[in-house]
Amino acid sequence: MGRWILVGVLACGACAPPGSAPSDDNTEEVSDQDLDGDGIREDVAVWIQANIDDEEAQAGARMTARGMLEMVDNPDDSQAVLTAGERILKGTECLAWAHDGSVYDVIIEMQSMHMDTSERGEAYLSAQSHLSGRSAPAWSGDERKSACIEEVE
Ligand SMILES: [Ca+2]
């Protein structure tokens, strides 16, 4: 099974019921939009800051969150989805290298946040169709570490 397929499996496993709210109390009063233009929803940025201690792991989570928002915002643009998928993979590899806890739990929580309305959930899952059948090479430990060097937008 290729990694792109795995991303799709994770997405389906994280399907949030339509209209469900993020589970973290710290995000309830924070916007679910990217207000400052850094590519990350404000509530997701707060969640990352509150739930991930390691700075490099936070960088991986931010990369992943940017990719997830790009998928929600551009589900019909196959090139944008491929770029977003690469960003999610890079962020996930960084998380795998830097995060002591379960990467799976972080990914699932952030996917749930990005699919917190039926429209967003449908967009995210629709975007996944552009990744179906694709695969990506396995990353070495050094490549995972280098993935933590956050992109500057
Ligand atoms: Ca933002």
User: For 75-112, what is each residue's pLDDT tens digit?
Assistant: 999 999 999 999 999 999 999 888 876 788 999 999 99
As for how many domains the chain has, the answer is 1
Residue 13 pLDDT more than 60? Answer: no
| CA 33 to centroid of ligand 1, rounded, Å | 7
- Encoded tokens for 109: 């929580």
Q: Could you give the CA distance from residue 7 to residue 39 in angstroms, rounded to a whole number? A: 20
Q: How many A from CA of 39 to the centre of ligand 1?
A: 5
Q: Does this model's pTM top 0.75? A: yes
What domain range includes position 69?
A: 3-13+42-134
Alpha-carbon span 142 to 67, nearest angstrom: 22
- Evaluate whether residue 111 is within a structural domain: yes
145 assigned to some structural domain: no
Residue 105 placed within a domain: yes
42 within 8 A of 33, measured Cβ to Cβ? yes
| Cα radius of gyration (the chain) | 14
CA atoms within a 13 Å half-sphere pointing along the CA-CB vector of 88? 33
pLDDT confidence of residue 122: 97
- Please indicate, yes or no, if residue 18 is contained in any of the structural domains: no
Q: Is residue 65 part of a domain?
A: yes
Is 153 a member of any domain?
A: no
